[in-house]
Every structure is written in structure tokens, then in C-alpha cells.
Amino acid sequence: MKIIDPHLHLFDLTKGNYQWLQANQPPFWPDKARIKQNFSEQDIQLTKPLSLAGFVHIEAGFDNQQPWRELAWLEQNCYLPFKSVAYADITLSSENFQACIKQLLLQKSFIGVRYILDEQAAQVLHLPQVKTNLSYLASQQLSFECQLSLADDHAITLLVQLLEQIPELVTIINHAGFPTIAPEQRLFSNWLNNLCQLASNPNIAIKCSGWEMIDRHYTSSFAKDIIDHCLDILGLSRVMLASNFPLTLFSQSYQSYWQMMLNLLSKDSQHALCYNNAKHWYKLSSLSTNQ
């Protein structure tokens, strides 16, 4: 079983900044020191019956002032087929944002941008400049990694309105939109309703990952429930499974994570969710569809 992991992070603490990994910087996780180390392509190898055919690297705060440095480092040190999602500040002026994107486009692995919205989602999405910059991303056929809680009604209303104005923008929801661990809570209803709202846009996909950010002790049944909801609402072709490595190590090894994910899926859906959808959404054209 070949896998493309569409959401992971590699670190080189000797070359990058990674301010968020410092103990005195948010997020203030008591176990953060466990991942404050170098992680290279050698740390994401899988053993039989699994193999890693490719991956998508998501920016990890290497250098937010010169985000192309992270992509250059990856391209010098990675040998598997991969694409890179870079940091770019979507609140910048058009001139500065476009200059950043043009510099990033010089890196062959560049495929899209992530700007973490989280609790500031509504505040950021309300800015007129954000629409201008996301429109520019769409014009360059680049994707937007959207990281926010789908339970945030105000933010999702703004996001839906924004994407109605930029229907061609490929938008990929990170970490399943952070569903709550307790399905009976009101926040879960918000998450479900807002995912339904977003589903009407055919250029929206979702990555199911980041479970350990919701709860370090999440259960496989919780993950399966969320994956099933995403499949019911978005359909098989718009859902991807991902790891969020190295944060997966808070809970289990990289190998055991993927084995667990595969065990949750029907045989009919494994190839799409763990390989082919990531290949399609991230344009990993060098890989065979039938691997």
C-alpha cells in the first residue's frame, strides 16, 4: 500500500527559526519539548506493507520573513516526490504579497500558501486585502491551506462569502476543521453545519489529520466518525488522510499512525483517501495514479 502524506513538517533547528517550538512561545504545550528536534525525510520512512510514495510539506515557521528559504532547504535535502505549502502573510499589501509569491514561485515544489487563522479567523477574513491576495493566489493556480475551527460560525460565514467571490480558488481545510471530541456538544453541530455550507464549493477539500491537537488521547473511533462525516458531506474525492508528523509522535509512531488509519477504512476507499486524492489536489503529477 503506497501512501502520499499531504500534511507533514520537517525541521532543521540549525537552519530555521521555529519560534513556536520555544518553551516561552505559544502554543504552551507541556510536551512540546518532545518534538523540538531535527526531523528529516529519513524519519518518515514506512515499512512493509506500507511505503511512502510522496508527501506535501506544510510550512513550519522556518523563516516567516523569507519563507522561500524553507522550500530551498527542502529541495536540497528531500528525494521523494513532494510539494511545498509555504508561509505567506495574506494581510500584506498587494505589492508585498505578490513579491513574496513571485519569489516562492522560483522554487519548483511550491504549490500553495498557509496562513494560520485559528482564533483570529473572522478578524483576518474580514479584511479587504485578504480577498485581493487570495484572488492573486487563484490567478497563479496556487492553493490556500485554511486552518481554522469549522465551529466558528462568524468565520465560516465570512469564508463562504469570500470563496463565492473567488470560486476558482482551491481551498483545503486543515485538520478536519478541529471537530470537538464530544459529538453531543453544540460546537459539533456548528462544525457539521458549517462543513455542509462549505461543501457546495467544488474547489474545497479537507484533510483529516491533527487529531492529537484536539486530544492527545483521541480514539480511533473518534477519527473514524469524523472521516465518515467528511465523506458523507464532501464525497470520496474531496477527503484526504494526513499525519501532521511530527506531532503524531505525541500519540504514536509514524508507522502505527498510518496502520491505524488504514484499519479504519474500507478497502474500496483506502487508495483514494491515502494516495490518489492527495496526488490530484496537490498536483503530484510525477506519481502514477495506479501505484
Q: Is 252 helix (H, G, I), strand (E, B) or coil?
A: coil
Other CB atoms within a 10 A radius of the CB of residue 75 amount to 14
* Percent of the chain residues past pLDDT 70, beyond the cut: 98
The answer, as to whether pTM is greater than 0.85, is yes
Quote the DSSP letter at residue 33.
G
Separation between Cα atoms, residue 125 and residue 12, nearest integer Å? 32
Which residues make Cβ contacts (< 8 Å) with residue 208, sequence separation at least 6?
175, 176, 223, 226, 227, 230, 239, 240, 241, 242
At 182, is the pLDDT very low, low, confident or very high (cuts 50, 70, 90)? confident
Residue-level pLDDT at 139: 98
At 21, is the pLDDT very low, low, confident or very high (cuts 50, 70, 90)? very high
pLDDT reading at 289 higher than 60: no
Buried b (16+ CB within 10 A) or exposed e, 156-194: bebbbebbeebeebbbbbbbbbbbbeeeeeebbebbbeb
Exposed/middle/buried for 101, CB within 10 Å: 0-12, 13-18, 19+?
buried
- Greatest C-alpha distance within the chain: 50
Phi, psi of 118, deg, nearest 5: 45, -130
- Using only the alpha carbons of the chain, give its radius of gyration: 18
User: Residue range 174-184: average pLDDT?
Assistant: 87
Residue-level pLDDT at 3: 98
Quote the DSSP letter at residue 167.
T
At 183, is the pLDDT very low, low, confident or very high (cuts 50, 70, 90)? low
CA count, 13 A, side-chain hemisphere, 83: 23
pLDDT reading at 23 higher than 80: yes
Domains in the chain (CATH in brackets) are 2-281 (3.20.20.140)
At 285, is the pLDDT very low, low, confident or very high (cuts 50, 70, 90)? confident
At 180, is the pLDDT very low, low, confident or very high (cuts 50, 70, 90)? confident
Task: Kindly report the average pLDDT of the chain as a whole number.
Answer: 95
The predicted-structure confidence for 108-156, as pLDDT tens digits, reads as follows 999 999 999 999 999 999 999 999 999 999 999 999 999 999 999 999 9
Separation between Cα atoms, residue 120 and residue 95, nearest integer Å? 23
Residue-level pLDDT at 291: 41
Residue-level pLDDT at 209: 98
Residue-level pLDDT at 288: 52
At 250, is the pLDDT very low, low, confident or very high (cuts 50, 70, 90)? very high
Cell match 522554487: residue? Answer: 107
User: Residue range 257-281: average pLDDT?
Assistant: 97
The predicted-structure confidence for 26-82, as pLDDT tens digits, reads as follows 999 999 999 999 999 999 999 999 999 999 999 999 999 999 999 999 999 999 999
